[in-house]
């Protein structure tokens, strides 16, 4: 019995996604299945800050060359993409030929799909798809918006909502405990058979969960709350 | 006639000799004159009396005022006064007297004084009081006795009767007035239904009244009178010396009821279904017999009284009867119980059980016999025996174990089947505990099981493994039913059914389900592997084709040969795979056409099919022993062929191949081993090699293949209900062990 | 961008028993404009272990099924046992197996289908797995 082929982001991978790489793959699959080469997901913060796709929590596969100009680091308040996001919560297809966007103009194609996304906490995010030849019709846009919402919902639960999650996983507690004994990330990586990157990911997650900014505070907070002794 | 004395002196004499006090009182209520009697009664001398006022005479102020208001001042119209008042003596004691006061008028008719005459009535009052008290005591006494009590005077008028009498003759009560005649009272009673036996018609009433009056006037022995109120009275009457007629009524309802009961008992005996005889032992005759006896024997009472024992005791029972009666006659044993036959008038007989009791009467010894017709009971007993017999037959023939026991598991019945299983005679088991015969391992469970039975849930079942006589495990489904009566356990009925075969079937199904699941998993894995292994080269082919196109576009030529080389290589691999898959799907799911053949035949066929490779590898085949196989010749040939091919492929470089096949057959089935002296297979690969497209060696150029052969071998072995596995203990090459069931098995 | 801060090229080790995959990956790396990567290739896990022990490897791309091993659950821990603490990514033509859900328990950082790999993915991987997620101050806590 052969399993019928489905696009990646609609299959079991959505449920199995555990890290940023997995969500990168899901959003990329969503973009690719609708004919777009590039995507970007990031938070919509405020007028002053604009939309920063280079933010550490943003996910995108936009070429680095688009951001080489120091003046074009963010999609700022004057950009029609940003204006659209400020004014509407509905997904839309924008024609860059009529309303040029400085950053996204680098894609070379005129069509950009903007999908506003909303986290349960009230935070606003957006998915931007560019680099496609065709202009999605109404139905295609609806499908993109739906899939984007599903992936984003999971992305928020697994990755973004760490700030509001209390309690540490077993792995995280192990790592905090080793840190409290003075081990570096590299040493912990060897002890636990993980990559240093993964250990740092865990530490970063713990920092966000405990609302602290460095390892010393992390250890102190963990001891205070009885997570480790 | 002229009196010798003057009226004045006569008046004076009268005044002085009158036994009653006379006092003259003036208009100021002062005493102005009194006679000798007044002094005697009140204790004052005539002189002391003078000037005393009303306060000195009256015992109460109220009396004094009452009299004063009535008569004073003297010019009031009232001339006389009469009344009873209490007066004070000189010594302070009180005297009750009737006062009669008259005014004395002067010549003008004007009242000038008052003359008061007092009659001392103290003694009269005391006597009346005494009389009243005595009467009250009598009434109380009469009222307190439960017997009815009544007295008529000489003229037969009612003088007195007590409450009990009223209560007894409640219906006649309205007529019982003092002074009413006895006759009027009973006539009233008759008219209002007071009496039970006074008849209904006028004439009967008259006759009864006449009879009653006669009894009343000339009382003799007491008699019982029944009232309509269901009461029975003992009537006792007598004429007292002073001519008074005194009657006493005693309630004897209970006594007369008892008498009724004796009669009723007689009726009951007459009507009971059981036959009752009274038999005179001296006369050898029936004295009396009840209806059941008469009906059953078909004689009238008169006829029966003519019968002796021999006339209705059938056959030889007569002798027994005599023997039985004999000691009864001598009163040695008062009660005899025996079975006999009675003969009816028409000659038919019936079995009966007799309970004979000797009644002690030295003059005329009689025997009371209660006879129960046993026909029906014997019928029931026979039916019951029949039922028991049927149950026994059923229990004996049922393949189940059947056990009946007391609640404490003391056996009362075991069927033969269970007795045979236990290995003891059934009789020996009865009386012992059920638990004694339950396998040790199951006892605790059974105890817990039995303890849990309740009137709400009297039945529970459990499956138990029990060792059979032959030592095999027997699976038994025990149903334990506790019979409860009024919430108390009275009997345990246990039925054990041999479910060994059912269980085996269940196990077989479970095993098959597991196998099916394994096979499904294998199939799923197979499809996953196939899809993966076919997709992988396709992807590469596509990518290399794209690269070639790109390079041509860019005018680059140096890598084209490499890329196209990869493309052909992948295409060939895919062709090989698809062929293998075809072969696999054709063989693996082919229907098995079993036949009997020799192992060597299949081995030779397989060897011959590989002749080219055999020659190339300089291989030799050694077959140790030939056996008969039963299976699909083509498929099993394929199995050996694939194993041989494997051995030829993974041979040691620059070395000839020797393949050895050994076979043996035992109770379990056939076991065939195929071993070679090649490079062998790592033990950790022992299972993986049977998967589809599993390459064993990275360098497939050296050991070309499609990785489907061993998967097929396993598939063929399993479709024959056999197995194939790698002997991981073998180190000098690869050794595969194939097992196949014997013919018919599986 | 993807070269390390000291300017040396990022060394990625590809472990795959099919040499054609090496050829294909090399080609893809060329399309990743931001990536300047030094790709090395070995065909079995034994070779990979030797190579990481020798040092200098920054990242490993590991084929899921390396004959004769079963899957990454057998191979990835071998690299960790050899003391390798750089990122390990599993590349496979089929990542649908349920056991992929637990990849992090076996010391693996990410997984990706061979089909999914293109230039932008490689860019993302390099950026994601070479960038320290901890802030400067945090990293320096124990330095």
Residue B127 placed within a domain: no
Q: Which residue has the tokens 């019979």?
A: B483
CATH of residue B489's domain is 3.30.450.20
Which residues span the domain enclosing B559? 502-587
CB contact under 8 A, B531 and A2: yes
Query: What average pLDDT does the structure give for chain A?
Result: 84
Poorest-pLDDT segment among A5-9, B49-53, B721-725, C7-11: A5-9
pLDDT for position B541: 92
Among residues B120, B149, B164, the one where a domain terminates is B120
Count the residues in chain C: 143
Residues above pLDDT 70, as percent of chain B:
91
DSSP secondary structure of B267-313: HHHHH-SSEEEEEETTTTEEEEE-HHHHHHHT--HHHHTT--HHHHB
Residue B565 placed within a domain: yes
Of these ranges, A49-58, B347-356, B444-453, B599-608, the one predicted with the greatest mean pLDDT is B599-608
Distance CA B331, CA B360 (A): 8
Distance CA A129, CA B641 (A): 58
Interface test with A, best of B523, B530, B531 (most A CBs within 10 A): B531
Q: Does B562 lie at the interface with C, CB-CB under 8 angstroms? A: yes
Contacts of A3 in chain B (CB under 8 A): 527-528, 531
Q: Does C81 lie at the interface with A, CB-CB under 8 angstroms? A: yes
Contacts of A39 in chain C (CB under 8 A): none
Q: Does C71 lie at the interface with B, CB-CB under 8 angstroms? A: no
CB contact under 8 A, B523 and A2: no
C:12-41 residues touching chain A, CB 8 A cutoff: 33-34
**Is residue B346 located within the same domain as residue B395?**
no
DSSP secondary structure of B336-371: EEEEEEEE-TTS-EEEEEEEEEEE--SSS-EEEEEE
Structural domains counted in chain B: 6
Contacts of B539 in chain C (CB under 8 A): 93, 114-115
pLDDT at B4 over 70: no
CB contact under 8 A, C17 and B540: no
**Is residue B597 located within the same domain as residue B731?**
yes
Minimal C-alpha gap between C138 and chain B (Å)? 44
In the three-class reduction of DSSP (H, G, I as helix; E, B as strand; rest coil), residue A8 is classed as helix
pLDDT for position C35: 63
Chains touching A (at least 3 CB pairs under 8 A) are: B, C
pLDDT for position B565: 92
A216 to chain C: closest CA residue: C141
**Is residue B249 located within the same domain as residue B351?**
no
Nearest by CB: C33 against A24, A63, A185: A63
Query: What average pLDDT does the structure give for chain B?
Result: 82
Q: Does B547 lie at the interface with C, CB-CB under 8 angstroms? A: yes
Distance CA B120, CA B20 (A): 7
Q: What is the DSSP letter of A50?
A: -
Which has more pLDDT, C87 or A109? C87
**Is residue B580 located within the same domain as residue B598?**
no
Residue pair B738/B610 in contact by the 8 Å Cβ criterion: no
C30 to chain B: closest CA residue: B547
Q: Give B153-164 pLDDT, tens digit per residue.
A: 888 888 888 888
Minimal C-alpha gap between B524 and chain A (Å)? 6
pLDDT for position B317: 52
Nearest by CB: C85 against A3, A196, A201: A196
Q: Give C43-95 pLDDT, tens digit per residue.
A: 989 999 999 999 889 999 999 888 767 688 889 999 999 999 999 999 987 78
Question: CB neighbours of B735 closer than 8 A, spacing ≥ 6?
Answer: B673, B674, B675, B676, B726, B727
Chains touching C (at least 3 CB pairs under 8 A) are: A, B
Residue B66 placed within a domain: yes
In angstroms, the Cα distances linking B78 to B14, B75, B103 are 25, 8, 9
The sign of the dihedral angle between the CA atoms of A199, A204, A207, A210 is: negative
pLDDT for position A150: 92
Minimal C-alpha gap between B583 and chain A (Å)? 18
CB contact under 8 A, A3 and B531: yes
For chains A and B, what is the number of CB pairs under 8 angstroms? 9
CB contact under 8 A, A3 and B523: no
**Is residue B187 located within the same domain as residue B249?**
yes
- Average pLDDT for B438-462: 85
Residue B265 placed within a domain: no
Nearest to B291 by CA among B310, B271, B306, B308: B271
In angstroms, the Cα distances linking B311 to A174, B299, B302, B306 are 114, 12, 14, 9
B506 pLDDT band, cuts 50/70/90, is confident
Contacts of B531 in chain C (CB under 8 A): 94
A66 pLDDT band, cuts 50/70/90, is confident
Contacts of B697 in chain C (CB under 8 A): 67-68
B493 pLDDT band, cuts 50/70/90, is confident
Nearest by CB: A193 against C107, C111, C128: C107
Chains touching B (at least 3 CB pairs under 8 A) are: A, C
Nearest by CB: C70 against B535, B688, B696: B688
Nearest by CB: B566 against C20, C97, C114: C20
**Is residue B611 located within the same domain as residue B651?**
yes
B550 to chain C: closest CA residue: C27
Contacts of A2 in chain B (CB under 8 A): 527, 530-531
CB contact under 8 A, C94 and B682: no
ipTM: 0.82
B329 pLDDT band, cuts 50/70/90, is very low
Nearest to B228 by CA among B247, B253, B250: B253
A4 pLDDT band, cuts 50/70/90, is very low
pLDDT at B63 over 90: no
Q: Which residues of B528-554 are buried (b: 16+ CB within 10 A; e: fewer)?
A: bbbbbbbebbebbbebbeebbeebeee
pLDDT for position A3: 40
Residue B192 placed within a domain: yes
B274 pLDDT band, cuts 50/70/90, is confident
Residue B125 placed within a domain: no
| Two structure tokens written together for A110 | 């005129």
Among residues B587, B608, B631, the one where a domain terminates is B587
Q: Does A18 lie at the interface with B, CB-CB under 8 angstroms? A: no
A3 to chain B: closest CA residue: B528
**Is residue B613 located within the same domain as residue B736?**
yes
**Is residue B560 located within the same domain as residue B650?**
no
Query: What average pLDDT does the structure give for chain C?
Result: 82
Among residues B120, B153, B183, the one where a domain terminates is B120
How big is the CA angle at A83 (ends A79 and A85), to the nearest 5 degrees? 120
Contacts of B589 in chain A (CB under 8 A): none
Neighbours of B276 (CB within 10 A): 19
Nearest by CB: A184 against C34, C80, C142: C142
In the three-class reduction of DSSP (H, G, I as helix; E, B as strand; rest coil), residue B602 is classed as helix
How big is the CA angle at B575 (ends B574 and B579), to the nearest 5 degrees? 115
CB contact under 8 A, B530 and A2: yes
pLDDT at B691 over 50: yes
- Average pLDDT for A46-75: 80
**Is residue B706 located within the same domain as residue B731?**
yes
Alpha helices in B33-170 (DSSP H): 36-42, 46-49, 54-57, 61-71, 122-144, 163-168
Residue B636 placed within a domain: yes
Residue pair A135/A113 in contact by the 8 Å Cβ criterion: no
Contacts of C63 in chain B (CB under 8 A): none
**Is residue B661 located within the same domain as residue B706?**
yes
Q: Give A178-200 pLDDT, tens digit per residue.
A: 998 888 999 999 999 999 988 99
CB contact under 8 A, C121 and A61: yes
CB contact under 8 A, B547 and C93: no
Q: Does C118 lie at the interface with B, CB-CB under 8 angstroms? A: no
B744 pLDDT band, cuts 50/70/90, is low
Interface test with A, best of C120, C121, C139 (most A CBs within 10 A): C120
Neighbours of C47 (CB within 10 A): 13
CB contact under 8 A, C68 and B540: no
CB contact under 8 A, B539 and C68: no
Residue B237 placed within a domain: yes
Q: Give B108-131 pLDDT, tens digit per residue.
A: 778 888 888 888 777 777 778 888
Nearest by CB: B698 against C21, C24, C43: C43
| Two structure tokens written together for B243 | 């001519």
Domains defined along chain A, listed by start:
8-161 (3.30.450.80), 165-224 (1.10.10.10)
**Is residue B596 located within the same domain as residue B680?**
yes
> Which long-range contacts link B465-471 to residues 24+ away (Cβ below 8 Å)?
B466/B439, B466/B442, B467/B439, B468/B421, B469/B421, B469/B423
**Is residue B621 located within the same domain as residue B733?**
yes
pLDDT at B698 over 60: no
Q: Does B702 lie at the interface with C, CB-CB under 8 angstroms? A: no
| Two structure tokens written together for B278 | 């009274």
Q: Give B393-408 pLDDT, tens digit per residue.
A: 777 777 788 888 888 8
Q: Does A4 lie at the interface with B, CB-CB under 8 angstroms? A: no
Contacts of A213 in chain C (CB under 8 A): 135, 137-138
Domains defined along chain C, listed by start:
10-140 (3.40.50.2300)
């Amino acid at each position: 019995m052969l399993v019928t082929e489905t696009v990646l982001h609609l299959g079991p991978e959505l449920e199995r996604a555990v890290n940023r790489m997995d969500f990168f793959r899901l959003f990329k699959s969503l973009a690719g299945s609708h004919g777009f080469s590039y995507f970007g997901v990031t938070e919509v913060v405020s007028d002053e800050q604009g939309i920063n796709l280079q933010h550490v929590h943003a996910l995108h596969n936009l070429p680095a060359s688009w951001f080489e100009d120091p003046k074009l680091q963010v999609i700022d308040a004057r950009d029609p993409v940003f204006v659209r996001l400020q004014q509407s919560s509905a997904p839309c297809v924008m024609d860059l030929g009529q309303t040029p966007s400085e950053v996204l103009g680098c894609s070379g194609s005129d069509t950009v799909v903007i999908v506003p996304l909303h986290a349960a906490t009230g935070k606003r995010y957006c998915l931007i798809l560019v680099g496609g030849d065709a202009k999605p019709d109404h139905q295609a846009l609806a499908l993109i918006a739906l899939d984007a919402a599903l992936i984003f919902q999971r992305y928020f639960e697994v990755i973004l909502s760490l700030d509001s999650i209390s309690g540490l996983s077993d792995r995280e507690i192990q790592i905090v405990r080793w840190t409290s004994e003075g081990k570096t990330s590299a040493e912990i990586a060897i002890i636990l058979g993980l990559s240093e990157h993964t250990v740092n990911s865990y530490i970063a997650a713990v920092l966000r969960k405990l609302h602290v900014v460095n390892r010393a505070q992390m250890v102190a907070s963990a001891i205070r709350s009885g997570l480790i002794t | 006639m002229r009196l010798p004395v003057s009226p004045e002196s006569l008046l004076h004499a009268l005044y002085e000799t009158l036994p009653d006090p006379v006092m003259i009182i003036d208009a100021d209520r002062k005493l102005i004159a009194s006679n000798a009697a007044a002094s005697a009664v009140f204790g004052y001398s005539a002189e002391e009396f003078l000037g005393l006022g009303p306060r000195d005479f009256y015992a109460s102020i109220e009396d004094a005022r009452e009299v004063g208001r009535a008569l004073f001042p003297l010019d009031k119209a009232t001339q006389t006064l009469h009344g009873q008042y209490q007066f004070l003596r000189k010594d302070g004691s009180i005297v009750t007297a009737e006062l009669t006061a008259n005014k004395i008028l002067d010549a003008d008719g004007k009242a000038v004084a008052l003359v008061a005459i007092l009659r001392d009535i103290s003694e009269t009052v005391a006597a009346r009081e005494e009389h009243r008290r005595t009467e009250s005591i009598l009434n109380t006494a009469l009222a307190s006795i439960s017997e009815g009590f009544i007295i008529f005077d000489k003229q037969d008028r009612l003088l007195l009767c007590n409450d009990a009498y009223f209560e007894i003759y409640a219906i006649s009560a309205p007529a019982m007035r003092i002074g009413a005649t006895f006759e009027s009272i009973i006539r009233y009673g008759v008219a209002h239904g007071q009496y039970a036996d006074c008849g209904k018609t006028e004439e009967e009433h008259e006759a009864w009244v006449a009879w009653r009056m006669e009894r009343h006037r000339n009382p003799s022995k007491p008699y019982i009178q029944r009232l309509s109120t269901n009461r029975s009275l003992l009537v006792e009457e007598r004429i007292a010396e002073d001519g008074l007629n005194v009657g006493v009524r005693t309630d004897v309802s209970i006594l007369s009821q008892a008498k009724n009961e004796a009669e009723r008992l007689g009726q009951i005996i007459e009507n009971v279904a059981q036959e009752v005889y009274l038999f005179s032992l001296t006369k050898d005759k029936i004295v009396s017999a009840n209806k059941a006896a008469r009906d059953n024997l078909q004689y009238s009472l008169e006829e029966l009284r003519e019968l002796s024992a021999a006339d209705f005791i059938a056959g030889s029972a007569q002798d027994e009867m005599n023997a039985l009666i004999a000691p009864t006659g001598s009163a040695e044993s008062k009660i005899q119980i025996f079975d006999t036959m009675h003969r009816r008038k028409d000659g038919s007989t019936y079995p009966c059980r007799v309970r004979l009791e000797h009644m002690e009467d030295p003059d005329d010894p009689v025997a009371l016999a209660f006879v129960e017709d046993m026909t029906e009971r014997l019928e029931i007993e026979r039916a019951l025996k029949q039922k028991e017999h049927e149950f026994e037959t059923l229990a004996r023939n049922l393949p189940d174990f059947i056990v009946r026991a007391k609640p404490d598991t003391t056996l009362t019945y075991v069927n033969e089947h269970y007795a045979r299983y236990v290995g003891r005679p059934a009789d020996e088991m009865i009386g012992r505990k059920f638990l004694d015969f339950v396998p040790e391992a199951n006892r605790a469970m059974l105890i817990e099981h039995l303890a849990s039975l309740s009137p709400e849930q009297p039945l529970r079942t459990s499956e138990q493994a029990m060792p059979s006589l032959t030592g095999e495990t027997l699976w038994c489904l025990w149903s334990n039913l506790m019979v409860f009566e009024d919430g108390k356990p009275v009997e345990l009925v246990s039925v054990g059914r041999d479910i060994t075969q059912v269980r085996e079937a269940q196990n077989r199904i479970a095993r098959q389900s597991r196998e099916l699941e394994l096979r499904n998993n294998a199939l799923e894995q197979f499809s996953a592997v196939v899809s993966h292994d076919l997709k992988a080269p396709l992807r590469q082919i596509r990518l290399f084709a794209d690269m070639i196109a790109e390079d041509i576009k860019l005018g680059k030529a140096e890598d084209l040969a490499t890329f196209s080389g990869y493309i052909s290589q992948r295409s060939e691999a895919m062709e090989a795979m698809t062929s293998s898959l075809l072969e696999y799907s054709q063989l693996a799911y082919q229907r098995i056409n079993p036949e009997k053949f020799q192992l060597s035949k299949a081995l030779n066929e397989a060897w011959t099919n590989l002749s080219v490779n055999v020659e190339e590898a300089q291989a030799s085949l050694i077959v140790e022993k030939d056996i008969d196989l039963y299976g699909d010749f083509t498929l099993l040939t394929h199995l050996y062929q694939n194993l041989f091919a494997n051995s030829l492929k993974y041979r040691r470089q620059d070395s000839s191949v020797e393949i050895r096949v050994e076979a043996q057959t035992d109770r379990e089935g056939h076991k065939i081993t195929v071993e070679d002296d090649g490079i062998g297979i790592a033990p950790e690969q022992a299972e993986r090699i049977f998967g589809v497209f599993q390459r064993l060696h990275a360098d497939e150029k050296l050991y070309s293949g499609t990785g489907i052969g061993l998967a097929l071998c396993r598939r063929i072995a399993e479709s024959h209900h056999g197995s194939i596995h790698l002997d991981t203990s073998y180190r000098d090459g690869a050794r595969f062990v194939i097992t196949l069931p014997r013919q018919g098995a599986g | 961008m993807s070269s390390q801060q000291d300017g040396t090229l990022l060394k990625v080790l590809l472990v795959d028993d099919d040499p054609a995959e090496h050829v294909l990956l090399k080609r893809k790396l060329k399309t990743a404009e931001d990536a300047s990567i030094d790709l090395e290739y070995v065909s079995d896990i034994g070779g990979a272990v030797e190579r990481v022990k020798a040092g200098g490897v920054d990242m490993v791309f590991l084929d899921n099924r390396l004959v004769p091993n079963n899957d990454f659950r057998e191979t990835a821990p071998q690299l960790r046992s050899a003391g390798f603490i750089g990122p390990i990514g599993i590349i496979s033509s089929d990542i649908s197996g349920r056991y992929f859900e637990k990849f992090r328990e076996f010391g693996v950082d990410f997984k990706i289908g061979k089909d999914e790999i293109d230039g932008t993915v490689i860019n993302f991987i390099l950026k994601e797995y070479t960038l320290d997620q901890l802030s400067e101050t945090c990293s320096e806590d124990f330095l």
